[in-house]
Structures are given as structure tokens and as C-alpha cells.
Structure 1
């Protein structure tokens, strides 16, 4: 399948970041465009931070109906939007932009992507969901916290090296969020239904995430938002223990769904074929 953008009269979308070379968003969206026979294109454009405001002000003038936003632009793009969704407002960051009546709208789909991956890969995972443990307190962790609160988690335990960052998130959690240091982790895990790594630890080129999963109950689910490598050490440990697990690739794919729907008017499916395409690209 040829997944390069085609010359056609359909809507144009891009992903912007700095750097942007390794973004897999064009593979995902151009796969969907071809699968559904939709006229349109999706490309990646490197935009330096000092040029971001000018680029977004002229997004429509460049022929684009919207864009994805990746590092380091998510917070700055949020501030440049005319209107933002409630999800984006809670997080102070956007990853999806679209134009309506000349106004720039911003949305954040990280939480939807996280939940979508769990829904597809571990059906009914949220039935009687009691306690979720999230490692990290950055932007990704914040998105996952609010997604889990919306889905009805009874308690969320945030584990982070810096308690002050966790406490900032906890203040918005209505008493359902507790904050813990890494030293507390063995005890925190004993009653966890879901464990999520929301940091870059364990990613290729980053420090490893060193956690002993033996305290986790046999019914627990382990989720790692890192997708390079496809099986992190955390997921390998979970597999060896026979625990249910969800890798970061699912979140990457599912967070793209709402944007495609906004830009091209079709809700796409995350299929085994699409997953295999991105796995091959990561493996290559």
C-alpha cells in the first residue's frame, strides 16, 4: 500500500513539532485515507518554536483544515487557540487543532487514546475499577488521571519523584487522588487494579523503569504508554507474571481517531493491519 500523501482536492492536515522526523502520524492517517477512499492528505512539517505563532495564524492560508501538535508545542499552541475543549483546558495543552469559521480550535485526545486502547485490548477492564496507580506527574499523567476519573476510578495513586507535582494534580481530583513516593510503591501496588507508566522511563535511549511487580494482584492490568520498544521491560515483567497488559502503541493509534473524525468526517477503526504497519515501521 502506498501511504504517501496524494495530489487530490481533499482536506489537507499536518503534524507539527520540533523535531518531527520520526512522527508516525502520517503513516496512521494516510493509511485511513486510503482504506476509506477519502480524498485528502496528511504530512509532517518541522516548525521551530519561534515560528509557531506565525505558522498557526496562517494555517488556513497554507491550505490546512487542521493539524496535530507534538513536542515541544502543545502548551504554546494551547495559548494560541481561539477556543479549546474542556479536556484541553484541564490539561493546558493541545495535540489536535481544527479550523471552524476562521477560528482555531484546540483539543487534547491523549485521554481518549488511553481509554480507547484499554477498551479494545482489555474489554470490560473498567468494570468495578477500584484503584489505579499512575507513575509520573507530567502532562501525560495528568491526561490519564482525568480520563480515569471520568471513567469512574475509585482511587488514583500518583507515584512520582517530586511530590509537589503530584499534589498539584491531586488538588483537582476531588479527594480521589493520593500522592506517593517511589518508596511507597510496594505497598501501593498490593491493592492496584491498574498500573500505568506515564513517564518516558523505559523508552529507547532513556533510563530504565525499575519496578518489582510481585506485589500486584493477579487480576491487575499493566499499561505502559511507551511504544518504542514495543515491549518495554515493564510489559515483559507483566507477561512473565501472566498479567494482562497494554502497550503504548494502542494509545498512539487511538488518540489519532478523534482528529481524523474532525478533519475528514469519518470515525476510523484501529485494525490489526494498521497496528502491523506501525509495528513494522518501529521495528525497522
Structure 2
């Protein structure tokens, strides 16, 4: 038994060392012009499929997603946010979609490969390291189900039928939560903020971290509780709750001021490199409360 355990331990150490050398030596080509090797691609594909199936298993599928008005809404959302990478019946994806790796697959056969609840889960949460974005904080839950339902029925559309569906949806915009606060009004606009309710209950801190990540705050700032790049573009946000002033000293510390700074940095300081990220009021409040807890 000792010999067996020692052999297994040695094999594990050698495997870890070999993996470390492989990674540190830069031997795996991560360029998008070559793609993954077949074994890596299959491993990622199986991992993704099983992860989605497990997490979407308890999602209830509303039958209303197939109603004509909802399908029309789904066609508008598909036109505005999906066709660029996935194309449609008789329609090629744009260059950005052609250049991603792994290539975003066409969705005309999505219903043969995925259940409706799984298409919804992928649309809502995205897929890491694939280019597939998460729309959870961008679109309302109604729009997420509308576009998912449209994808489910995509295989039934011939190229002429697809073009007709796009023409029928032409008057409808499918605006994100950020776009609605830029002045959209009327019955066809999305709600003022996307639905914050996740598939599984989250506490407010978890929702705040989600918002900080989805608005790309961690691309420039080091933020407690978030994993991101080792960046120094913006100041680290650790200990923000101990500061007396924020926004480069222009505003007193406090939730109201921090919400203002998050939503309109250029309005507070036109010389700041911090851009307007289109953060909604509700999401900015979540972020501010979370960040001010960091002492």
C-alpha cells in the first residue's frame, strides 16, 4: 500500500510540475487565429454543457415565450444583440463573430442541442472564456425569455421567413438598462432597470459584486471580493469606507455622493479618465453600499 501511495503521489507531483512548465513556458498557443486543440476544445465543450445543464435544471419555462407578441419582441432583441456573432437563417455573422475563438456557433439548430431553460440560462449568465456575454443586468427578464424563445423557434424559419420576422420587428428597439436612462420613453422601451432577481437567491453583497463585475469596474480598479486583472488604471477601492473624500477629493464620502460619482464621473470631474459606464440608479446604489462597507 505504501508503494502504491508513493507512486500516486509521485505521479501527481510530476503532473503538476509538467503542467507548470507547460504553462510557464508559454507552449500553449492562446491566439484566436489558431483555435484550441481538439482535446482542449472537447474538454471545454463537455464542461460547459454539463455546467449549464446542472444550473438550469430547476428553471421554469414560461409558455408565453412562444406568443406572437413575445416572439416579435424576441426577434428585435436577436437583431440588436445576437445576430452580430451568431448570424441567422441566410444571414452571416459580422466580422467580430467570425473572429472569435471558439467560433460562436449558429443558433439555427440551438433547439436540437439545448432545452429552452438552458438557452435562457446561457443568455442570462453568459459563458466564461467564450465571448458569450451575460445579459442579466442588461435586459429585463421578459426580454431574456423573449429572445430565448425566439432562438428556440429559429430552426423553423426559412431565410425568407427570418427576413420577414426581422422586418416585422423593425419598429421595436431592444434597449439595455443602460440605454433606457439615455432618454428612451414609451411602451416599446425596456424597463428602467433590468431585473435584478437571479435564478438562485443572492444576498445584496453578491448582487453588488455582480454589478461591479458586469459594469467592468474591476477592469480598472482592484475591488475587494472580486477577481480581476492586476490593474492600476484607477485607484484600488479597498478601505473606501474609511475615506473622508472621494472623486479625487471633489466630493465628501457618503452613499449619495458615491452614487453620483459612479453614475456621472465626467459631470463631477471633466478631467477624470473615469468614463460613464451607463450604471443605473439601482445598480449604483448596490455598488456604493458594498464599497462603503470596505474598511
TM-score, scaled relative to structure 2 = 0.26
Q: Answer 1 or 2: which has greater helix percent.
A: 2
- What is the TM-score normalised by the length of structure 1? 0.27
Larger radius of gyration: 2
